[in-house]
Amino acid sequence: MPYRTHTLLSRWVSEFTAAHTTSSTIEVLRQDGFDEDTGLVVLRPRGVDTELYLEPASPGASRFVITLTRTDADITVDSLELLLLSEELKTASLLCDFLEIRSREREELHRVEAPRTEDIDRGRPALR
C-alpha cells in the first residue's frame, strides 16, 4: 500500500511543473492523517474562483481522483476564458495521471524491495 508524504508529493508536483506549463497555482497542503504527515494536492485555475483537490481514491490507493469544489456564485466566462479553463482542466488531468504513475512506480519498488515472508520464517536472507 503506497504511502505518500507531504515531502514526496511536493517533489512529484515539482517534477510535474518543471515539465508542464500552467497558469494555475499548484501546491501541496499539509494534511494530517493516520498519525503521519500526508499531503493534499490543490490546483487553483487562474481567473476562476474554484479549487481542484487531487488525492488517492481511497487511503493507500495508487489511483488518484479530482474533486472540483463548489463556488457560492455562478461562474460566467467568455469563449477565450473557457478555452483557457479547459487547458487548466487538462493540466489537472495530466497531473492526476502523473501522480498515479509515480504511485504505481513507488508501489512496485516497495514490492520488489520487501522481503518475502517465507524467507524470514526460515531464517534465510531476504531476496531483493
Question: pLDDT 10s digit of each residue in the chain, 128 long?
Answer: 457 889 999 999 999 999 999 999 999 998 766 556 688 999 999 888 889 999 999 888 899 999 999 888 888 999 999 999 999 999 999 999 999 999 999 988 877 766 655 555 555 555 54
Q: What is the pLDDT at residue 100?
A: 96
Q: What is the pLDDT at residue 112?
A: 74
Question: Is there a domain that residue 126 lies in?
Answer: no
Question: Is there a domain that residue 128 lies in?
Answer: no
Question: Is there a domain that residue 26 lies in?
Answer: yes
Strand order in the sheet with 25-33: 25-33, 36-44, 52-56, 64-68
Q: What is the pLDDT at residue 103?
A: 94
Domain with 70, as residue range(s), is 6-118
- Domain count of the chain? 1
Q: What is the pLDDT at residue 1?
A: 46
Query: Which residues pair with residue 53 across a beta bridge?
Result: 42, 67
Question: Is there a domain that residue 123 lies in?
Answer: no
Q: CA-CA distance, 127 to 113, in Å (whole number)?
A: 8
Show the cell assigned to 51: 479549487
Predicted TM-score (pTM) of this structure: 0.81
* Residue 123 DSSP symbol: T
| Cα 31 off chain centre by | 13
